[in-house]
Amino acid sequence: MPQNKLIAGNWKMNGNLAANEALVRAVAAGMGEARCEVAVCVPAPYLAQVNALRAGTRLELGAQDVSQHAQGAYTGEVCAAMLREFGVRYAIVGHSERRQYHGETDALVAEKVKAALAGGVTPIVCVGETLAEREAGQTQDVVKRQLAAVIHVNGHCISEIVVAYEPMWAIGTGRTATPEQAQEVHALLRAQLKAATGHAERVHILYGGSMNAGNAAQLLAQPDIDGGLVGGASLKAADFLQIIAAV
């Protein structure tokens, strides 16, 4: 297992200049000597602002997406090199909302992971099943297929990624996988990474389905859950700090 857990907030399409400043200042001040890494993944227009606000703190910066291309005529896209110029360490790749609303395939996600790594950004690679897939007993097949595509394209570099298991039925719904359900999938993903690289102990595997102040401690106590990708609760400093404290 990684030595430190990672708690990453995903702001999604939320925020404004004033609210961002208040939130980042409160989180940075409240972190103290946090026993984990902490990052916030913010909308692209706010990367510069949050990068400046986090200066001198232990708070890391993340983006919510990255292009599979290094540069060129790709209107609206943002490449890894651009993100690095703004101090970005992490980029969420293949979030279920990108897969669902923007048609991102396993193959595209794998290429985005490759581009992020080449540009010096650590991808947080999201995998997870729908409610229909879970009820049909397909959870293991789905997450293994999604991760296999990334492993196939990125080979030995796979030990440099972060993985986030985010069951789609538990995102923004208030429903959460039980600690046992989450641990079962995390153990499966760990075994898959170990078979591919032999270095699975270096890879953070985060849980990303409605983690909040109330359930974080139980989830984070599981042996293969190395942190959280936190949605709504990351927009409230008190809730986010409670999750950080649960580590």
What's the whole-number average pLDDT of the chain? 95
Q: Which of 37, 111, 129, 166 is catalytic?
A: 166
Specify whether domain 5-246 bears CATH 3.40.50.720. Answer: no
Confidence of residue 97 (pLDDT cuts 50, 70, 90): very high
Res 50 pLDDT > 80? yes
Whether residue 223 contacts residue 199, with contact meaning beta carbons closer than 8 Å, is answered with no
- The sign one gets for the Cα dihedral 87, 90, 95, 99 is positive
Confidence of residue 212 (pLDDT cuts 50, 70, 90): very high
Average pLDDT over residues 153-182: 90
Question: Who contacts 101 (Cβ-Cβ below 8 Å, separation ≥6)?
Answer: none
Asked about 77 being catalytic, the answer comes back as: no
Of 33-37, 86-90, 129-133, give the range with the top mean pLDDT: 86-90
- Domains of the chain, residue spans: 5-246
Lowest mean pLDDT among 90-94, 125-129, 192-196: 192-196
20 known member of a binding site: no
12 known member of a binding site: yes
Angstrom distance (rounded) from CA 163 to CA 147: 9
Res 174 pLDDT > 80? no
Average pLDDT over residues 151-172: 92
Average pLDDT over residues 194-221: 92
Percentage, residues of the chain above pLDDT 70? 100
231 known member of a binding site: yes
The letter for the amino acid at 33 is: E
Average pLDDT over residues 93-99: 97
pLDDT tens profile 218-239: 999 999 999 999 999 999 999 9
Long-range contacts of 43-49 (CB under 8 A, 24+ apart): 43/11, 43/12, 43/13, 43/14, 43/15, 44/78, 46/15, 46/17, 46/20, 47/83, 47/86, 47/87, 47/88, 48/86, 49/17, 49/20, 49/21
169 known member of a binding site: no
Asked about 204 being catalytic, the answer comes back as: no
Res 3 pLDDT > 90? no
Query: What is the structure's pLDDT at 114?
Result: 98
Q: Which of 95, 97, 104, 129 is catalytic?
A: 95
Res 172 pLDDT > 80? no
Q: Please give the angle made by the CA atoms of 132, 231 and 191, to the nearest 5 degrees.
A: 60
- Return the DSSP state at 94: S
Average pLDDT over residues 213-217: 94
- Among 113, 134, 109, smallest CA distance to 185 is for 134
Q: For residue 227, which phi and psi values (nearest 5 degrees)?
A: 145, -165
C-alpha atoms less than 13 angstroms from C-alpha of 11 in its C-beta half-sphere: 24
Q: For residue 43, which phi and psi values (nearest 5 degrees)?
A: -60, 145
